[in-house]
Structure 1
Amino acid sequence: MGNQSLPIRREVGTAKIKERAGAGIGVVLVAPSGLRVEEALELNEKVTNNEVEYEALIYRLEMASSLGIEWLRVRADSKLVTKKVSGNFDVKEPRMATYFNIVKHLRAEFMQSELIKILREMNHRADDLAKKA
């Protein structure tokens, strides 16, 4: 594992605001035993900040599933994504609905999955990895 380039996995139209190419994703998985798996990925297409947050969540879910994890607690610093995925905010935009549906499908693969909003300051390792991508 390590640094790699990751294309956006779905066609959701073109972003009109806050687009940036080469956005990074930092992912840290920590097992109860303390074992850590860290990834730094670069998205090689233009994406909005919200799309980056969804891409990071989707990548974490896919990674955890591929490792055979059945019980998952995801900590994320995106209020928008955590509120939408938890059902506290409506998903209105078709682009975000596409991401939401992918996350919903992936979460169904786990016996239990929990998404917790954390402060950005508590997410420094994932942020550091994203900057290195």
Structure 2
Amino acid sequence: MTRAMTLFDAAPDPGPDSSARARIVIHFDGGARGNPGPAGIGAVVSDPGTDPPTRLVSVSRYIGETTNNVAEYRALIAGLEAARDFPARAVEVRGDSKLVIEQVRGAWKVRQAHLRPLVDDVRRLLDAYDTVALVHVPREQNTDADLLVNAALDAR
């Protein structure tokens, strides 16, 4: 089941003269072969205002040895950082990590201390948007980001 969750309203309205897009979508994924193990990240930033949606930028990177959860967070951070080159008033974040989605929106506690700074980084990056939607999607709806993770791991 796909559920959209609005996190918060943050940035001021850029006004009618702004060149910002209405909305961008970020798909993210991270994975480790072994847990911990060699890890990669993938993120796709797209403009859903075109038909079909335009892929604006992709991120695929090997990040060394870490856990699946850290890789998921680092993928989202990389996607949000890449998205800064494409200003928008709203962002929809889509990922198959229920843990990341629920912790970022504040529904689940962050029990592992090493994840807290990553959650803080994500929230700081999300502050740039008027509207934030966090959507947990099934793995089958996150294949582009997943392919980027595997490409990064295979190329290491």
Q: Distance in 1 between matches of 2:151 and 2:90?
A: 29
Is the contact made by 1:72 and 1:113 (CA closer than 8 Å) also made in structure 2?
yes
Q: Which segments of 5 or more consecutive residues in structure 2 lack a partner in the other structure?
A: 1-33
Q: Among residues 34, 42, 55, which one is paired with 1:36 in the alignment? A: 55
Is the contact made by 1:40 and 1:132 (CA closer than 8 Å) also made in structure 2?
no
- Alignment-mate amino acid for residue 40 of structure 2: G
Within 5 Å, give how 1:92-107 maps onto structure 2. 92-107=111-126
Q: Given the alignment of the two structures, is residue 74 of structure 1 paired with residue 87 of structure 2, yes or no?
A: no
User: What number of residue pairs does the alignment pair up?
Assistant: 116
**Structure 1-normalised TM-score?**
0.79
User: Could you say which residue in structure 1 is the equivalent of 2:137?
Assistant: 118
Q: Given the alignment of the two structures, is residue 27 of structure 1 paired with residue 43 of structure 2, yes or no?
A: yes
Bigger fraction of residues in strand: 2
- Alignment-mate amino acid for residue 110 of structure 2: V
Bigger fraction of residues in helix: 1
Is the contact made by 2:40 and 2:64 (CA closer than 8 Å) also made in structure 1?
no
- Alignment-mate amino acid for residue 142 of structure 2: N
Partner of 1:89, secondary structure, is coil
Q: Among residues 32, 48, 53, which one is paired with 2:67 in the alignment? A: 48
Deviation at 1:128, TM superposition (A): 1.1
**Which of structure 1's runs of 4+ aligned residues deviate more than 4 A?**
none
Q: Which segments of 5 or more consecutive residues in structure 1 lack a partner in the other structure?
A: 1-16
Deviation at 1:113, TM superposition (A): 1.6
Is the contact made by 2:57 and 2:82 (CA closer than 8 Å) also made in structure 1?
no
User: Could you say which residue in structure 2 is the equivalent of 1:4?
Assistant: none
Flag the structure with larger Rg.
2
Deviation at 1:38, TM superposition (A): 4.3
Q: Distance in 1 between matches of 2:46 and 2:74?
A: 19
- Alignment-mate amino acid for residue 35 of structure 2: K
- Alpha-carbon RMSD across the aligned residues, in angstroms, is 1.6
Q: Can you list the C-alpha shifts for 1:74-107, whole angstroms capped at 9, x where unaligned? A: 1100011011111110012221111111111111
**Structure 2-normalised TM-score?**
0.68
Is the contact made by 2:59 and 2:78 (CA closer than 8 Å) also made in structure 1?
no
